[in-house]
Structure 1
């Protein structure tokens, strides 16, 4: 039984306010988000290298990859904190994943999301219609309020 290896266990003791749990907190560029953590199932940090990694993505349907990793830290104590300063990006939800891993490949993770207020997305619409056919014209009030095009 002494050769049994257990994966490290990650506990984030205070997560950033999650927008889908009813939080009205808006994060902005320059805000620091902190992830205070506690690790379990680590026999000795002096002999076992353990890393924590933070991934952030704007799309929850895409997998978190090395391209979305924004911060990494080698853990030196069973309690530690990873801080990250938010950059400028588009407004909307940001999805995060905190992962702890050992050199032997054992991992644990936790996920969440925040609501970010940043750059307003600009969408340009090109509408091509046959001559004389105006049934689907976006300026037609039956199709859409024209004021939407101005905001």
Structure 2
């Protein structure tokens, strides 16, 4: 199952979601992330948070969502927005009519105090992990887009 996680800057929340879906999905999920206006590189605290949780951070980069419209791009089974601004932007028409959901989470990148920033990233990581575990436990997959949409929405409601 292919999942695309979107936020405007593709530097924090979507990067965390990509890492978590790939790790927790244990081969059943291929997750990707992108943004409408990527920051150019992942936020240092996003990478530090992933490192603290044992993720390999070597392959992460901030990228535009139009990479996933290009010929040869993987067809997505689900597209999840994790920031309110990305959810309100006109998104591309994704091939394959993927399930869609919005998991709005506060942006931890705007916190200046290092300890508070670290805590905010940990909170975001935990919130995404809870939602992702909920989706994976539901058993919903690419074979039933309506069930996948329902599982994505239920995960957000149950873990908010």
After TM superposition, the score normalised by the length of structure 1 is 0.21
Give 1 or 2: higher strand fraction. Answer: 1
After TM superposition, the score normalised by the length of structure 2 is 0.20
Give 1 or 2: higher helix fraction. Answer: 2
Q: Bigger radius of gyration, 1 or 2?
A: 1
